[in-house]
Chain A
Amino acid sequence: MTNIGLSMVTEQALAGDAQQADELVLRLQRAEPSAVAEVYDAHHAAVRAFAKRLLGDAASAEDLVHEVFVSLPRAIRKFRGDSALRTFLISIAVNHARHHVRAAQRRRRAISAYGDIESHDSSDPEREARRKELAELLTRALDTLPIDQRVAFVLCEVEERSSREASEIVGAPEATLRTRLFHAKKKLRLALGTEGLR
């Protein structure tokens, strides 16, 4: 197949995808359960991973995921197709995260008060324990940050998104996002140093 033929096929495929995406958005606007289920199956892992990293608590993350997809038919009215649907879902999660962050903090405090230690299976238990400990330490440090700085840190550092994508998600200019990130890292370094892990 020549280059021209290949590009025509690619364009047709892209046009077909765009049409399908438009139809999916229309179905979402009509709150069709099958459309929400389709979007859930395609994107739940990304939304869940972000929620888990942001909140540091599995149960709260599940609640946030639930809220994101239940509110999707209403929220999709604001979707203009400027960004990917996945990015849009993450932005919904950011908007709904505030009270889930508080819930996760409360749960973490309760768990640490009762000294609850989850069991885990791993091929290298020592390394896994260290990794888990560090993750928990960072999550506790994240609890000390304002929500905007916390979101900026998780998006840019933990999820390694570009500042442009992260700014699309939070709906703030890139410069603002970078400033939030700067302050977040500064506070986190301080918090981790104070903890004196090593």
Chain B
Amino acid sequence: MSDDLLAEATRALRETESISEFEARATRTRVLIGLQQARVRRRTRLAFLLPIAASFVAVSAWGAASGKARAALERIERFVGVTAAAPTSVKAPAKRVAARPPTPTPDPQPAPLAASRDSEPAPLAELAARGASPAAALPSASTAARRAEREDPTLALYRVAHSAHFVERDPARALAAWDAYLGAAPNGQFAPEARYNRALSLVRLGRTTEARSALEPFARGAYGGYRKAEANALLERLERLEP
């Protein structure tokens, strides 16, 4: 009985009249409007998100290239206390300088020659160009500098030589220290600076022949424009003093 009824009811449901043409058209319009709205929403999202994403990428690239991203990260680390014992007085740009040993004093003058006034050494000049204060470059002030030295031990030698040359102003000690650095890293990151400062130490010690041969490559332009003018001026002075 219920089998027949089920079959009959199934047939009745199968023969249920379809929706009217009007409703079908109305639904078609609803579908197309819905798609259009979805497309507009997608475009609006893109119009907002693309510039934001592009800005983020550009800022990230700039930050990575200029080193400011790293500095900002370290600042955040310090703020949240991830980096232990980091002094609060350290300026962020010091990070960038970490690769180069810091210089605490300004422009020293070579003793024998007033005209051969030694301009600011390269690391300090770079520091100044980057807007870092000398305080930021103090060895004890920078954890990054210590980290850099751990990565490259020859940097410690450079720092000792730098200190003897510019802080203690002891040409004999400075010469020995520059020789030590150049012995350890003849093609090191700061080899040109070390060679030039070594030449200055030789001038100060009155070892003019050695000083001449040390300055000649700079005067010739073997290091590009680096210290070329100063080396020529010094050689000229040496020539005048001891022809």
Q: Taking beta carbons and an 8 Å cutoff, which residues of A are in contact with B?
A: 31, 33, 36-37, 40-41, 44-45, 48-49, 52-53, 56, 58, 61-62, 65-66, 69-70, 73, 130-132, 134-135, 137-139, 141, 157-160, 185, 188-190, 192-193, 197-198
With contacts A31-B39, A189-B2 taken as known, whether A40 is within 8 angstroms of B31 at the C-beta atoms is: yes
Any A CB within 8 A of the CB of B239? no
B32 within 8 A of A: yes
For the residues of A in contact with B, the DSSP-based class is helix
How many chain B residues touch A (Cβ–Cβ < 8 Å)? Answer: 28
Please name all residues of chain A whose beta carbon is closer than 8 Å to the beta carbon of B151 when the two chains form the complex. Answer: none
- CB contacts (< 8 Å) of A44 on chain B: these are 24, 27-28
Q: In B104-118, which residues have CB < 8 Å from any A CB?
A: none
Q: Is the CB of B23 closer than 8 A to any CB of chain A? A: yes
With the chains together, A73 CA to B12 CA distance in Å? 34
Task: Flag if A36 contacts B24 (CB, 8 Å).
Answer: no
Contacting residue for B10 out of A65, A132, A138, CB 8 A: A138
Bound-state CA distance A157–B14 (Å) is 9
A44, B119: Cα distance in complex, Å: 85
Contact of A31 among B1, B16, B23, B38 (CB under 8 A): B38
Bound Cα distance A131, B13 (Å):
8
Q: If the complex has contacts A52-B19, A61-B19, A193-B1, are A36 and B31 also in contact, measured as CB distance less than 8 A?
A: yes
B16 lies within 8 A of A36 (CB) = no
Q: How far in angstroms is the closest Cβ of chain A from B35?
A: 5
The smallest beta-carbon distance between B20 and chain A, in angstroms, is 9
Check A52/B35 contact, CB under 8 A, given A158-B10, A189-B2. no
Q: Mark B48-91, 1 if CB is under 8 A from A, else 0.
A: 00000000000000000000000000000000000000000000
Say yes or no: B19 contacts A132, CB within 8 Å: no
Chain A residues within an 8 Å CB radius of B32: 33, 36-37
